[in-house]
Amino acid sequence: MSFEMPTLQGALIRAEAKLGASLGGACRIAVYHEMRKDLTRIVGEIEDERFRSELRYSERELTNRSKRRGFTCFIVYLGERPVAFVFGFDDPEEGAYFSDSAATLIERRGVGSVLTALETLYCLENGYRSEKMITEDLDESGRRLVEYWARFGFQVTGRDPKIGVEMRLELAPEAVKALYDRYLGA
């Protein structure tokens, strides 16, 4: 079976249009490879609103993470207001990308799903073979995060009471294309 894989650039344009329609305003998605002061502030403000204190990164921690090889951060803007982010970097495991943190101020409107689809496409386009993350079974709102990530194809690879639930997505082109079609398709 043959198919054409979309480019990240084309997917970003499609994602902006899809989110704009869903959110009722102009959306822009920016991709950054360094954590400038303004980005540290944006990520920090979204984390402050969405995460309990022990899950929030300090400015120093964000800066240190941004210096890791392969650092990439997607930010969704609704108008001029930043409403979501996801960032990650090279995992110590060869060929793996570690998706470190993601949050959205607007839930149940497709923002997180679109960011996940974009991040997986980015990873495949840049030669990664898998994407990893650490999450928790339930967050403070009772959301089942393992189930949430499983719907994108992530599978549990380990559990540690101190660290959390380790998950992995194998980045087969067919799987990434299926995520694109599901969350960014017509």
- Judge whether residue 15 has pLDDT over 80: yes
Per cent of the chain over pLDDT 70 is: 91
Q: What whole-number distance in Å separates Cα of residue 63 and Cα of residue 40?
A: 7
Q: What whole-number distance in Å separates Cα of residue 63 and Cα of residue 129?
A: 26
Q: What whole-number distance in Å separates Cα of residue 133 and Cα of residue 61?
A: 17
Mean pLDDT of the chain: 87
Task: For residue 140, give the DSSP letter.
Answer: T
Q: What confidence score (pLDDT) does residue 2 get?
A: 63
Residue ranges per structural domain of the chain: 8-184
Neighbours of 9 (CB within 10 A): 10
Quote the tokens at residue 112.
């997180």
Residue range 65-101, pLDDT digits in tens: 888 899 999 999 999 999 898 999 999 999 999 998 8
First to last CA, the chain: 21
Do residues 143 and 73 lie in contact, with contact meaning Cβ atoms separated by under 8 Å? no
Q: What confidence score (pLDDT) does residue 4 get?
A: 84
The CATH code that applies to domain 8-184 is 3.40.630.30
Query: What proportions of the chain, in percent to the nearest 5, are helix, strand and coil?
Result: 40, 30, 30
Task: For residue 141, give the DSSP letter.
Answer: T
Q: Which of 17-21, 27-31, 139-143 has the lowest mean pLDDT?
A: 139-143
Q: What confidence score (pLDDT) does residue 33 get?
A: 93
